[in-house]
Amino acid sequence: MVSLLSIENVIGSIGRYGTTAPVTLGSVPLYGMEIPDVLTNGGQQRLEVHWLPGGTKIVDRLGNDPARFSWNARFTGPNALARAQLLSQMRDAGQPVSFTGPGINETVIIAEYAFDYSLKGAIIPYRIQLERQSTSVTSASTSTSALSSLIGDDAASALSDVTSALSDGAQALSNISAQGQAVIGQVFPLANMVGAGSALASVSDKLTMVQGLSGAGINLASAPDNVASIVTGLKASGVNLMTTISQAGANISGISIQNGSSLSALTANAGLQSAAVDSGALVNRGYANTLTAGDSSESWQLVSAAA
C-alpha cells in the first residue's frame, strides 16, 4: 500500500534535484528552489569629496562598502514552514552568522527577512537581505592552507552523504528482494547503482583520496602534486555523480508505482539522486577552492542538476 509519508519523502527528495551549488546561511543549508537564481556580489568605494575654490577637489577614500546580498526564493515540501521559521529566528537574534557559497565565505547579519505562508504551508516564498560585515570572498589572497581545510571539509561532508546513500540503497535493495515483487518500469537496476563497482562507489573512493590530500595545515601552494591529484579526484567524482543523477532520474521517470517493491525502488532512487546532487554541490565548491589554490581560472562547475 502506498503511504502518504512515502510519497512525501519521494517528493521532498525530488524537490532538491535543482541544487547545483551549496549555499549555507548560519546552520541552515539551502537547496533547490531555496537558492536564488542570481546572487549579485558588489558594492561601492565610499568617497568623501571636498570641493575647493577654483574647481579643485580633494577625494578622501573612506573604504570598501560591500552591498547587501538580497534575493527572493521559496521553501517547498512538508518542512517548508519549519525551515522558513529557522531563518526568522536567526533574524530575531540579530547575531552575525556565516554565509557561504561558490567563491563566497562571509560574516553577515540578517537585516531584513519575511516569508509568506501559502498553499497550506506547502510553498513558502521568502525575501531576505544580508548586511555584510566584512568582505572575505575566497580569492587568491586567501591562504592556501585555509583553502585546503575548506576542501577537506567539503570532501568529508560529501563522502558522508555518499556513504549514507550507499547504505540506504543497499537496505532498500534488501527490502525489495524480501518483498519478492517485480519493480515496474525500472531502467537501471538498483543493485548496479549501489553495489561494488558502481558510479557512486567510485565517488566514495575518490573522495576518500581527496580528503586525505587536503585538510587543515596542508599548504597546497607548496604541494602542487596534491593539487593535481585533488583536481583529478574531484573531476572523476563529478563525472560519476552526474552518472548517478542521470540513472536515478531515468528510474524516477520510468518506475510505475504498482506494488510495494516499485514504491521502495522509487524512494531509493529519489534518495540516491538527492544525495548525488547534494554531494555534487560540495564537490563543486571543493573544486572551486582547489582552482583558486592552484591559481586557475577554469569553470568550477563539475556537477549540475541537468543530467
Query: Residue by residue, what is the 3-state secondary structure of 84-151?
Result: HHHHHHHHHHCCCEEEEECCEEEEEEEEEEEECCEHHHCEEEEEEEEEECCCCCCCCCCCHHHHHHHH
How far apart CA 144 and CA 142 sit, in angstroms, is: 6
3-state secondary structure of 65: strand
30 neighbors 290 (Cβ within 8 angstroms): no
Residue 190 cell numbers, joined: 538498483
Helix extents (H) in the chain: 4-15, 80-93, 144-179, 190-194, 199-213, 224-254, 260-293
138 neighbors 289 (Cβ within 8 angstroms): yes
Phi, psi (deg, nearest 5) at residue 286: -60, -40
Q: pLDDT (tens digit, 0 to 9) for every residue of the chain, 307 residues total?
A: 445 555 454 545 444 444 445 788 988 888 778 888 788 888 888 888 877 777 777 777 777 888 899 999 999 888 889 999 999 999 999 999 999 887 788 889 999 999 999 888 889 999 999 999 754 444 443 466 777 888 889 999 999 999 999 999 899 889 888 988 888 888 999 999 998 899 999 999 999 999 888 876 677 767 788 888 999 999 999 999 999 999 999 999 999 988 988 899 999 999 999 999 999 999 999 898 888 877 777 788 898 865 5
Q: Kindly report the number of other CB atoms within 10 A of residue 298's CB atom.
A: 8
Strand pairing report for 104-115 and 123-132: antiparallel
Query: What domains can be seen in the chain, in order of their start residue?
Result: 19-42+66-132 (2.40.30), 144-293 (1.20.120)
How far apart CA 271 and CA 284 sit, in angstroms, is: 20
Residue 23 host element (H or E) = strand 23-25
3-state secondary structure of 57: strand
Phi, psi (deg, nearest 5) at residue 29: -80, 140
